[in-house]
Amino acid sequence: MGWLHKMNAYFKEQLSLKNLLKVLLILLILYFLSLTSNVWMSWLTTLRLILTPFLVGFGIAYVVHPFIEFLQKKGVSRRIAIPLVCLGMLTLLIGILMMVVPMVYDKTTELINSMISGLNWLYQQYVEMNENAPNILVAGIFQQITTLLNDTKSWLPNFSALLPQLISKVLSFLTNAVFAFIISVYVLFDFEKIRKTIFSLARTIDKELPIYLSAVNAEISGYLHSLLMLMAIKFLEYSLLYMLIGHKSAVTIALLTSIGLIVPYFGATVANFIGILTSLTLPLPKVLFLIGGICVLSMVDAYIIAPIVHSRSSQVPPLWTLLCVFAGGMLLGPIGIMISIPVFMSLRVIVNLVRFRNERYDPLPSEEE
């Protein structure tokens, strides 16, 4: 019963009037914040709108900076490397948009028709396998999904009629995008100076804080490098797979599968489901070949390619990945989902570094002592 006496002594020590006043003060502050949420939430929203282009610009500069360092190692001047990389990035982005957007728009109706045909095929198979009358609930679900897809298909040709309503949003998005791009260019020119300033400020806060920032930087850089490589590999794999079965939207589905890696597990799963659903109108051997190919590629990517591309420290357990994606989506929406894994990896490397330094400088006493 020694632990009961320890708990009793602990609570007697901690439950003092001073500590109770601290708890009451914290609860009072939280209650006051809940009452004034309409005021400070509007301030936070305005602050987020102001800071978003700067954060996006800094993020773009952070992702692009390794390419500039690579050119500098090859003997290219930094003043030349930055415009070259920015121009190449902008050209690549515009080229992808000019190729993908018309293709996706042209193929969307065909894709929806394939999905409707696949759903109808599944429903007919269900009816033939069911000896009794089809379940009302199942029939209603199929009918609702088919109606939703048909409504989407009928909405697409009238997309131009909605353009006047979208002009303000499109202009706002383009303005923020251009502003973020300009900020990223300025950040790239002063990247080293900004990094030194951040490390200097961190050192004034705590002399060991730059060590943690360096560890986080190395972890995130490795993750982004691995992610880009895996996206390129997956795009090539699935383009070849869908072309082998004669899928009409092979490049579109492969692109969706590749981009789906940004959302771990869920993105690629949704893309595979769309790919299988749109291929149900093909001959049965091709559909079976596609399903088998997806299973094989998933296992090869998970157990062979991903471990080779990722370092051991950059791998995230599946349960932690699902938890991070869910929490990020609940807190920040789509942006939270995309940054959930980098944030988790940053926190993990900080915790591991703190644990290592504690074990190094404050070793536990041995049993002999």
Cα dihedral across residues 327, 331, 333, 335: positive or negative: negative
Average pLDDT over residues 135-163: 62
Percent of the chain with pLDDT over 90: 1
**pTM summary value:** 0.61
**Residue 3 — very low, low, confident or very high, per pLDDT cuts 50/70/90?**
low
Cα dihedral across residues 232, 236, 237, 239: positive or negative: positive
Average pLDDT over residues 189-206: 85
Residue 283 clears pLDDT 80, i.e. is over it: yes
**Residue 365 — very low, low, confident or very high, per pLDDT cuts 50/70/90?**
very low
Contact assessment for residue 140 and residue 148, using Cβ atoms and an 8 Å cutoff: no
* Residue 331 Cα to chain centre, angstroms: 13
Mean pLDDT (the chain) is 75
Residue 367 clears pLDDT 60, i.e. is over it: no
Amino acid, res. 143: Q
Closest C-alpha among 210, 220, 235 to residue 316: 220
SS (H, E, C) the chain: CHHHHHHHHHHHHHCCHHHHHHHHHHHHHHHHHHHCHHHHHHHHHHHHHHHHHHHHHHHHHHHHHHHHHHHHHCCCCHHHHHHHHHHHHHHHHHHHHHHHHHHHHHHHHHHHHHHHHHHHHHHHHHHHHCCCCCCHHHHHHHHHHHHHHHHHHHHHHHHHHHHHHHHHHHHHHHHHHHHHHHHHHHHHHCHHHHHHHHHHHHHHHCCCHHHHHHHHHHHHHHHHHHHHHHHHHHHHHHHHHHHHCCCCCHHHHHHHHHHHHHCCCHHHHHHHHHHHHHCCCCCHHHHHHHHHHHHHHHHHHHHHHHHHHCCHHHCCCHHHHHHHHHHHHHHHCHHHHHHHHHHHHHHHHHHHHHHHHHHHHCCCCCCCC
The reported pLDDT for the residue numbered 240 is 92
Average pLDDT over residues 140-153: 67
The reported pLDDT for the residue numbered 1 is 52
Amino acid, res. 271: A
**Residue 364 — very low, low, confident or very high, per pLDDT cuts 50/70/90?**
very low
Cα–Cα distance measured from residue 54 to residue 186, given in angstroms and rounded to the nearest whole number: 11
Stretch among 165-179, 265-279, 337-351 having the lowest mean pLDDT: 165-179
Cβ atoms < 10 Å from Cβ of 150: 13
Tokens for 201, please give them. Answer: 């400020």
Those residues whose C-beta lies under 8 Å from the C-beta of residue 108, and which sit 6 or more positions away, are 156
